[in-house]
């Protein structure tokens, strides 16, 4: 299993607008294509105006295929202009669990 951690630094004060748009429209489109959402978070302490969402994939090929399907979805393309202007910086990490890490199948 591979974990993708996507972190967005948003413009000051835009977290509520961003989260509302994702909740009302974006998350449904994402889950249709990306599959297993581990969590979707906003920062409370530390870096402010930060959003983190975490997704699980069976392989890097699985991730690549799912992300391509999302990018090609007309509903996603129509949604992006609602959130893109709110994002100042984006970071993406792909994490591979250690051999002793709990696996998704173990849950």
- C-beta of residue 14 within 8 angstroms of C-beta of residue 65: no
pTM of the model: 0.87
Q: Name the pLDDT band for 12 (thresholds 50, 70, 90).
A: very high
Q: How many CB atoms lie within 10 A of CB 35?
A: 14
What are 90's two structure tokens? 């984006």
Q: Could you give the 3-state DSSP secondary structure of residue 41? A: strand
pLDDT at 88: 97
What is the pLDDT at residue 104? 57
pLDDT digits (tens, 9 = 90+) for 13-70: 999 999 999 999 999 999 999 989 999 999 988 889 999 999 999 999 999 999 999 9
CATH for 2-98 is 3.30.70.100
Delimit the domains of the chain by residue range.
2-98
């Amino acid at each position: 299993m591979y974990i993708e951690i996507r972190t967005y630094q948003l413009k000051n004060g835009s977290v509520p607008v961003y989260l509302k748009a994702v909740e009302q429209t974006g998350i449904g489109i994402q889950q249709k294509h990306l599959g297993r959402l581990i969590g979707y978070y906003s920062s409370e302490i530390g870096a402010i105006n930060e959003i983190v969402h975490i997704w699980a994939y069976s392989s890097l090929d699985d991730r690549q295929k799912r992300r391509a399907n999302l990018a090609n979805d007309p509903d996603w393309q129509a949604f992006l202009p609602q959130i893109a202007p709110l994002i100042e910086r984006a970071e993406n990490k792909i994490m591979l669990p250690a051999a002793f890490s709990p696996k998704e199948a173990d849950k």
